[in-house]
Chain A
């Protein structure tokens, strides 16, 4: 029996988790001798007080949207894809290859081509763990972790030995040609009469990420494939009974997940850096886990959570700039969110359930 109404399930549980994480973070800030209220002020002004701040917030949010959706799709199939980091890395390789070696006539085509490359490379990096899970029963959490490290090694090798321009000491590719540069939010909003910050990295990819959000929602709740993914995630014996192939669904869900994680690269590699560097992903693959947990694996929740984390990242950077609080504070908050919304879910849920049970008895 459902003890809690659905609205409480989707709003109260994540909200309380967030409040707990925020309270603990405030304590951490206090402990290192800073003022939490002042810190929040700084973060809000830094991340949301200007179009420059928004430009960074939305740029980070775009990354987290892709990786959050990636983790969510896999969650719906009952799979924990912890390999978003590696898949996004490889997605970057796809973007770099597409941008450097194909003479695009226009940025729109370059974006299309690079997106396909990013998705294919990301999906390919998810394919082997998916296949091993589906066919050999190897635990996908472990294999995707291993593939993060293998991916980093592969990228390192490719950048140092194959794609580094001659004479450069930097393990990075050459700059992408001018034609592949993506319009920023400044470029997009200017015709509408909005003067958005020119130096912020948010770009057209944000719109693609929003589109991905809608598409994932549509996939999961409007198509038979989404229905099969969700069924398999809830009950494997049930799926078999209904004629849903566990092997096919595991593969498809992980390929979609990997493709989404890979797609992140059009934002950070093509949209921002305009070349591929070694540490392009910067942990966004892991933040996807926090975002998916916080957003309850629903695309709309993921959108909210991604923007929240975008805010935290930009706010954290500002904080590091103006106070002695290092950027790692964000890593702590991220950890606390994962802890409360993921691992300690029951701790938050049990008192709530008791409360609703009492309320229900009171009414009866």
Chain B
């Protein structure tokens, strides 16, 4: 009927990993020259779907049509040949190569480099001009910022004459300003007739940038709608399957004495880059202070310094007593002895030893405490008993202390960590990304535990990249941007819009 063929059409795609059904009977149509969003929670199956489209995985069932042609995509080469370009969340660039070398890698023109590079330089300049993507072709990747590196990824796809561009969580590492720039670039690409698929879990981006949007939940495509005909509330509901109520029941905070007092804190990482550029921060007993910000603006370093595994300069006092910020005593053990407990941002890398049993993990960090240690020995029996009790109180399933950490679900792993840290009854609890990769049911429980600790008159410092979580949980919010604290607000008196501006480095 004269209707244009869709740029991409997926029909009945299914993919299972062992017992886990990552994609169930998924179908989408994306028209050329549009931006199509795919939204869903972590683990909803978005990335699996895109990996199938880029030839990383083979679908168990289903068909892919590119511009109306049935296409097999057994590997990335076939995807590239079909005109698909992908910008991964973690960039796939060779860090000590130049921009130009990265761009021609795999798309060289003949066996010799010199002519390939010369030709690529010309093409690159044309592309840069056409799409307003300025990058120095001779810059070495590791010397570029993340925003620039992302441009290189986009240019890589365009150099390979991609007509369909997939971007996986492209704003995760960008500042709001960089993100806006990215969306302008995407808009320009759309005007030039490119088709764009934007994968994200951020509603705001979907509403701002896309023409149509598909929602994924637990491996299934729950809806595809025109963006102009939907609302964030409707999308959120489609995403989680019920009305989200990210409201935590809590009474107003009754802040007491200052527990954590940070003054003029500076952190330089091992590459010599200053990550925290002199911040002041206070957390009082009986309050939760949230640190909001785009990932990579110094929040992780703040937790690492407080947790005792990164050096810093400046001053930190806990209950009035100064903490060592470098040297032997700036370690996790001394910090714990000072009443600081820490639920780290990445529980699988830091918070747990995945091959250790639940009971061994319950002693992790506290293995030298009286009760767990006697002389040179570990008191294994006491640790086991203690673990059993903690698992019961925190409803960890299955309640088997001998099971290795890797065999628990994300939510239960987090509960093991949380039980270990909270049950120590610390004066100050550091919490990083408490609900990342945690199922909805466990989120509520985890939030309740954190609030309960606050109500016992303890101080809590919460770091999260989820603004919703910060607003729901924290009593006071400090926003970090580029190693600075841009401002502090009472969460009752602020909103996402104001915080979003601060996160972008804009002070009102």
Contact = CB atoms under 8 A, between A and B. Distances in A.
Determine whether A and B are in direct contact in the complex, meaning some CB atoms lie less than 8 angstroms apart.
yes
Interface of A: 1-2, 222-225, 227-228, 230-231, 234-235, 237-238, 240-245, 357
Q: Which of A225, A230, A234, A240 has the most CB of B within 10 A?
A: A240
Given A1-B407, A222-B377, A224-B368, A243 B353 contact: no
B342 interface: yes
Nearest to A1: B407
Contact of B331 (A225, A231, A243): A243
A228 B378 CA distance: 11
Q: How large is the interface on B (under 10, 10 to 19, 20 to 34, 35 or more residues)?
A: 35 or more
5 contacts: A2-B404, A234-B356, A238-B364, A241-B309, A357-B18
B122 interface: no
A341 B462 CA distance: 46
Nearest to A247: B328
Contacts of A238: 349-353, 364
A182 B363 CA distance: 44
A243 B363 CA distance: 12
Interface stretch (B92-100, B171-179, B333-341, B494-502): B333-341
Contacts of B367: 224, 227-228, 242
A243 B335 contact: yes
Contacts of B353: 230-231, 234-235, 238
B448 interface: no
B186 to A, nearest CB: 35
Which of B328, B344, B367, B406 has the largest count of A CB atoms less than 10 A from its CB?
B367
Contacts of B373: 224
Contact of A245 (B331, B335, B356, B380): B331
A357 B254 CA distance: 54
A344 B404 CA distance: 25
Nearest to B332: A243
Contacts of B365: 241-243
A241 B377 CA distance: 21
Contacts of A228: 367
Contacts of B377: 222-224
Nearest to B344: A241
B354 A234 contact: yes
Contacts of A231: 353, 356, 364
A364 to B, nearest CB: 9
Given A1-B406, A2-B404, A241-B307, A225 B354 contact: no
Nearest to A225: B376
Contacts of B192: none
Given A234-B355, A235-B349, A237-B349, A243 B376 contact: no
Question: What 8 A-B pairs come out closest when comparing CB atoms?
Answer: A243-B332, A243-B333, A242-B365, A241-B350, A240-B309, A243-B331, A234-B353, A223-B376
Nearest to B376: A223
Contact of A2 (B308, B380, B406): B406
Nearest to B355: A234
